């Protein structure tokens, strides 16, 4: 199993959990105005405090991957706050203000026939910040598997197939882009090359 062999590698259940300070007020500022210098997403707070050398310490079976301190809230982590913040971080991955994932084409053209709720990776410029966010998003998704904490990710089938080393077909793309399917079907139906050139300028 591809997923198991990758994400369960080097698990040390008796390792000291990572301590993270979360500021949900800063996260709220970020999501209300990304340009606010005082705002910082939960994911960026994780990236800032958990270097690659500590990632294996977040692989913990049956519970939250960290111990948390909620700044300004006075909460002591006895398990509950850690799990709550893990869920909040996972849900934040799908928040459009973070910019990692965007609505799929069916949603953008309001096609009521297919999978409007599913999000696809944002085809944005891959800056170092964006790349880092995607890496840590992958880490959080892997932790869901290790810790057996299910999260309601809204990603299409091809996303999971790609991560698990399964083939991705054009039919998987059609599931979230029916307009593209209609275009491709119409192109394939042409037998007259002149008419094709006139219509598609190709």
User: Consecutive sets of 10 residues in the chain, 202 residues long: mean pLDDT of each?
Assistant: 67 75 94 92 96 86 84 68 91 94 86 80 91 94 85 92 89 91 84 73 68
pLDDT at 63: 76
Query: pTM for this one?
Result: 0.84
pLDDT at 1: 65
| C-alpha angle 23-102-94 in degrees, rounded to nearest 5 | 35
Beta strands 18-22 and 66-70 are: parallel
Q: Which tokens hold the place of 118?
A: 């599913």
């Amino acid at each position: 199993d591809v997923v198991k062999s990758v994400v369960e590698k080097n698990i040390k259940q008796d390792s000291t959990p990572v301590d993270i300070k979360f500021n949900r007020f800063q996260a709220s500022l970020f999501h209300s105005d990304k340009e606010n210098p005082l705002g910082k997403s939960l994911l960026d707070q994780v990236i800032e405090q958990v270097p690659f050398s500590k990632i294996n310490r977040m692989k913990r079976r049956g519970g939250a991957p960290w111990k948390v301190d909620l700044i300004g809230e006075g909460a002591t982590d006895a398990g509950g706050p850690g799990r709550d913040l893990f869920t909040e971080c996972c849900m934040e991955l799908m928040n459009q203000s973070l910019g990692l994932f965007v609505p799929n084409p069916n949603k953008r053209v309001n096609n009521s026939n297919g999978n409007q709720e599913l999000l696809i990776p944002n085809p944005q410029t891959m800056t170092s910040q964006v790349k880092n966010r995607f890496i840590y998003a992958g880490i959080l998704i892997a932790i869901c598997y290790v810790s057996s904490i299910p999260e309601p990710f809204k990603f299409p089938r091809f996303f999971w197939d790609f991560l698990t080393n399964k083939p991705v077909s054009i039919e998987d793309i059609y599931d979230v882009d029916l307009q593209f399917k209609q275009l491709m079907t119409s192109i394939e139906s042409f037998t007259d090359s002149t008419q094709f050139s006139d219509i598609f300028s190709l």
